[in-house]
Amino acid sequence: MESVASRIETAVARLGPEFLEFLAESVRCQSVTGHEEPVTEFYERELRALGWEVRSLPLAGSALCADEPRVGQRANVVAYRSGAGDGLTVLNGHVDVVPPGDPSEWRESPFSGHVRDGRLYGRGSVDMKGGIAAAVLALAALEDCGAEPLRDIRLELVIGEEKTGVGTRLMVEAESEAPSAVIVMEPSGGHIVPLSAGLQFFTVEVSGMAAHTSAPWRGVDAFEKLLAARDRLRRLAAARSDSYSHELFEDVPTGIPFAIGKIAAGDYPASIPAFATMSGRMGLRPGEDPEGLRAAISAALESLAEDDDWFRDHPAAVKWGNAGLRGWETPREHELVQSLVRAQEHVVGAATIAAFTAGSDAAFYGGRGIPTAIFGPGDVALAHAPDESIAVADVFTAAKVLAIALAGAA
């Protein structure tokens, strides 16, 4: 008799061409953050056509909508599937994408959904419509071959991840039943990710005193002061990295990276800058309270006055770009992780476990102590880049692993 796992693999292969077009069409639905409705309408329509219970969860009316754009046009799409036993597994994926940038840097239209040499191209193919397609294909394959998931399934297709995470925060606020386990389909390269660092975004502002550049000694260069502030934060980050290690982060210099992504100073080439600002991020250890990191950053900036009299009367100011995404870890012996491990071993012969240094919506579940894992197809290094693309075979492989894990068939 054919095993359940073999029946699932056969179903994925049979349904694959249909869901390749599903993925291509979702990529063609331009859904830059804040303008997600083309793809949410597509997903809602397609999931209803599969006969699933589907609802739209609007952003309007939530306390979370205060600083969000176009509130009345934006909504999550939520689908439900019954399982064989008690408990609830959440499959979470974000529908929004970052802007494509300069179209001339792409070989073809950024939203083409075109398949070439076994890869599907377009903004969002990796991050993360490929993962969503894998999850929907996995659930469709279970239904097609008569297999049931072990638990009820809630498929959350959420808005706003690329900026504020408002879609998943809305799910946490709106749904009364806490999940037993969560799988977030971010592109993990097919690795099973039970560990993720968190992060704190920040902006630092410093002031100087303007002067003509022919006599710079008459002014105070705010850019130089900003570099001093950056160095102080860099030293803080280095000390934090030295004090934290984890075997899953052994292949990277640090599991809690610090980086400055944006910097600006002055407003005229012939003037010494009177102001300067930088924005960046500092990593949080799994389980670390963001408030403690914010206090450490503030203290590091206050310490500038110990070495520079200017900062005594003109202290650096810091603003927080988010409330802090918590880091999290699910024990590798937990059944969520082990079900993915067994399924991956069955499908590809070996399981690979890794860790994330990037923030994601997984923090809103894992940071609350809910067993969480990240698993999805695609190379995250290709996300947000020109010619973003995903290997079609990787989408199908991820669908097999997800379906077998959800059914407990390995």
Looking at the fold, whether 279 and 333 belong to one and the same domain comes out as no
Give yes or no for residue 1 having a pLDDT over 80. no
Give the pLDDT confidence score for residue 29 in this predicted structure: 98
Rounded CA separation 153/403 (Å): 12
What SS3 class is residue 287?
A: coil
The structure tokens listed for 110 are: 């950024």
Q: What is the mean pLDDT of residues 22-33?
A: 98
Q: What is the pLDDT of residues 275-292, one digit of tens each?
A: 999 999 999 999 999 999
Q: What is the mean pLDDT of residues 118-128?
A: 98
Residue 217: burial class (beta carbons within 10 Å; 0-12, 13-18, 19+): exposed
Answer yes or no: are the C-beta atoms of 123 and 110 closer than 8 Å. yes
Answer yes or no: are the C-beta atoms of 8 and 403 closer than 8 Å. yes
Gyration radius from the chain CA atoms: 23
Give yes or no for residue 308 having a pLDDT over 80. yes
Give yes or no for residue 176 having a pLDDT over 80. yes
Looking at the fold, whether 220 and 192 belong to one and the same domain comes out as no
The whole-angstrom distance between residue 10's C-alpha and the CA centroid of its chain comes to 31
Looking at the fold, whether 207 and 183 belong to one and the same domain comes out as no
Looking at the fold, whether 290 and 370 belong to one and the same domain comes out as no
CATH code of the domain covering residue 249 = 3.30.70.360
Residue at 111: amino acid letter: F
Q: What is the pLDDT of residues 325-373, one digit of tens each?
A: 999 999 999 999 999 999 999 999 999 999 999 999 999 999 999 999 9
Q: What is the mean pLDDT of residues 384-408?
A: 98
Which of these three, 263, 297, 320, is where a domain ends? 320
Give yes or no for residue 391 having a pLDDT over 90. yes
The structure tokens listed for 167 are: 């879609």
Give the pLDDT confidence score for residue 322 in this predicted structure: 85
Give the length of the chain.
Answer: 410
Task: Give percent above pLDDT 70 in the chain.
Answer: 100
Give the pLDDT confidence score for residue 122 in this predicted structure: 98
Give the pLDDT confidence score for residue 89 in this predicted structure: 98
132, 289, 318, 319, 353 from 295: Cα distances, Å: 38, 10, 11, 12, 33
Contacts with 17 (C-beta within 8 Å, 6 or more apart), sequence order: none
CATH code of the domain covering residue 52 = 3.40.630.10
Phi, psi (degrees; rounded to nearest 5) at 260: -105, 125
Looking at the fold, whether 240 and 299 belong to one and the same domain comes out as yes
Give the pLDDT confidence score for residue 175 in this predicted structure: 87
Nearest CA to 27 among 39, 16, 10, 14?
39
Answer yes or no: are the C-beta atoms of 148 and 77 closer than 8 Å. no
Q: With bands split at pLDDT 50, 70 and 90, how would you rate the model's confidence at 398?
A: very high
Determine the structural domain holding residue 175 and report its residue range: 4-196+327-407
Which of these three, 269, 297, 320, is where a domain ends? 320
Q: What is the pLDDT of residues 42-54, one digit of tens each?
A: 999 999 999 999 9
Which of these three, 320, 353, 370, is where a domain ends? 320
Strand partners, 212: 271
Rounded CA separation 36/23 (Å): 16
Answer yes or no: are the C-beta atoms of 209 and 310 closer than 8 Å. no
Give the pLDDT confidence score for residue 300 in this predicted structure: 98
Average pLDDT, the chain: 97
* Residue 398: DSSP 8-state: H
What SS3 class is residue 49?
A: helix
Domain count, the chain: 2
Strand partners, 201: 281
Q: What is the pLDDT of residues 60-107, one digit of tens each?
A: 999 998 889 999 999 999 999 999 988 999 999 999 999 999 999 999
Answer yes or no: are the C-beta atoms of 367 and 191 closer than 8 Å. no
6, 163, 338, 355 from 334: Cα distances, Å: 25, 31, 6, 16
Identify the residue whose tokens are 């980086």: 259
Give the pLDDT confidence score for residue 310 in this predicted structure: 98
Looking at the fold, whether 255 and 337 belong to one and the same domain comes out as no
Looking at the fold, whether 291 and 258 belong to one and the same domain comes out as yes
Looking at the fold, whether 31 and 98 belong to one and the same domain comes out as yes
Q: For the residues of 129-174, what is the DSSP string, one character each?
A: IHHHHHHHHHHHHHHHTT---SSEEEEEEES-TTTT-HHHHHHHHH
Looking at the fold, whether 210 and 342 belong to one and the same domain comes out as no
Q: What is the mean pLDDT of residues 179-196?
A: 98
Q: Which helix (H) or strand (E) holds 257?
A: none
Looking at the fold, whether 8 and 54 belong to one and the same domain comes out as yes
Q: What is the mean pLDDT of residues 189-217?
A: 97
Would you say the C-alpha torsion 248, 253, 258, 262 has a positive or negative sign? negative
Looking at the fold, whether 312 and 355 belong to one and the same domain comes out as no
Looking at the fold, whether 72 and 186 belong to one and the same domain comes out as yes
